């Protein structure tokens, strides 16, 4: 594995079909992409899936976390009350610089809250945003915010543009990214 590839903390307990699908995906990421992964979650649920998957690859570690944030839980309350949850522990690994990123398919609000409490914000950024890559005609599109914020102030939108530009340059290798604003309106049947 390349020295420049940072370890990724993966919430093994979040999302549909967790932990089985998450663990299998983490094993593949280590084997096929050379990405070192730390699975965070209930060890007693993770280890049987690892045994079923065959040999545990070098580069895969497990950090035990006894609690799980459910999808229907209030994000801030869950993070405050479940300090040993897989989401909180994954973000703590980033805060301590043991991992370079944390990923969860679980409660996105709790992931955001855990990151704010432990990792903190970049100076000058008022609100974090969730980003997502998706296919396009150019093959290289990144969009944010895709769910962290329901009502955005104009200054936050400007900050999202800066964050998107930095991400496109540093992570996607796009020298001059195009930045645009997409809005879904404010009809009663839609979001804000």
Asked if residues 13 and 44 have their Cβ atoms less than 8 Å apart, the reply is no
Q: Helices (H), strands (E): how many in the chain? A: 6, 6
- Predicted local confidence at residue 192, as pLDDT: 52
Residues 81 and 160 occupy one common structural domain: no
Residues 89 and 16 occupy one common structural domain: yes
List residues bridging with 64 in a β-sheet. 41
Residues 91 and 78 occupy one common structural domain: yes
Q: Is 62 helix (H, G, I), strand (E, B) or coil?
A: strand
- Predicted local confidence at residue 91, as pLDDT: 98
Residues 52 and 66 occupy one common structural domain: yes
Asked if residues 100 and 6 have their Cβ atoms less than 8 Å apart, the reply is yes
Q: Is 48 helix (H, G, I), strand (E, B) or coil?
A: helix
Asked if residues 37 and 62 have their Cβ atoms less than 8 Å apart, the reply is no
Residue found under tokens 């195009």: 178
Task: Give backbone dihedrals phi and psi of 101, rounded to 5 degrees, phi first.
Answer: -160, 155
Residues 37 and 108 occupy one common structural domain: yes
Residues 92 and 180 occupy one common structural domain: no
Residues 136 and 89 occupy one common structural domain: no
Residue where a domain terminates, one of 99, 120, 141: 120
Q: What is the pTM of this model?
A: 0.85
**Cβ contacts of residue 134 below 8 Å, gap of 6+?**
141, 143
| Full domain range(s) for residue 8 | 1-120
Is residue 174 classed exposed, middle or buried when 0-12, 13-18 and 19+ CB atoms within 10 A define those classes? Answer: middle
Is residue 15 classed exposed, middle or buried when 0-12, 13-18 and 19+ CB atoms within 10 A define those classes? Answer: middle
Residues 15 and 90 occupy one common structural domain: yes
Residues 112 and 45 occupy one common structural domain: yes
Residue where a domain terminates, one of 120, 154, 176: 120
Helix, strand, coil percentages, rounded to 5, for the chain: 35, 15, 50
Residues 36 and 107 occupy one common structural domain: yes
- Predicted local confidence at residue 189, as pLDDT: 60
- Predicted local confidence at residue 2, as pLDDT: 44
Residues 115 and 153 occupy one common structural domain: no
Pairing assessment for the beta strands 101-103 and 8-11 based on DSSP bridges: parallel
DSSP conformation class of 33: I
Number of domains, the chain: 2
Tens of each residue's pLDDT in the chain, 192 residues: 445 789 999 999 999 999 999 999 999 999 999 999 999 999 999 999 999 988 899 999 999 999 999 999 999 999 999 999 999 999 999 999 999 999 999 999 999 999 999 998 889 999 888 888 888 897 788 999 887 777 889 999 999 999 999 999 998 898 999 998 887 666 666 555
Residue where a domain terminates, one of 120, 146, 176: 120
- Predicted local confidence at residue 190, as pLDDT: 53
Residues 14 and 79 occupy one common structural domain: yes
């Amino acid at each position: 594995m390349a020295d420049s590839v940072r370890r990724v903390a993966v919430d093994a307990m979040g999302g549909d079909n967790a932990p089985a699908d998450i663990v299998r995906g983490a094993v593949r990421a280590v084997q096929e992409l050379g990405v070192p992964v730390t699975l965070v979650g209930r060890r007693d649920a993770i280890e049987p899936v690892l045994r079923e998957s065959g040999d545990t690859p070098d580069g895969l570690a497990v950090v035990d976390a006894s609690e799980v944030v459910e999808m229907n839980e209030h994000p801030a309350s869950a993070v405050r009350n479940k300090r040993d949850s897989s989401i909180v522990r994954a973000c703590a690994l980033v805060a301590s610089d043991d991992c370079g990123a944390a990923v969860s398919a679980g409660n996105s609000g709790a992931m955001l809250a855990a990151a704010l409490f432990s990792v903190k914000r970049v100076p000058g950024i008022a609100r974090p945003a969730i980003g997502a890559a998706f296919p396009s005609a150019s093959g290289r599109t990144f969009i944010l915010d895709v769910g962290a914020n329901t009502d955005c102030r104009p200054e936050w939108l400007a900050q999202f543009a800066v964050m998107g530009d930095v991400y496109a340059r540093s992570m996607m290798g796009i020298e001059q990214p195009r930045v645009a604003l997409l809005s879904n309106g404010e009809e009663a049947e839609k979001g804000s």
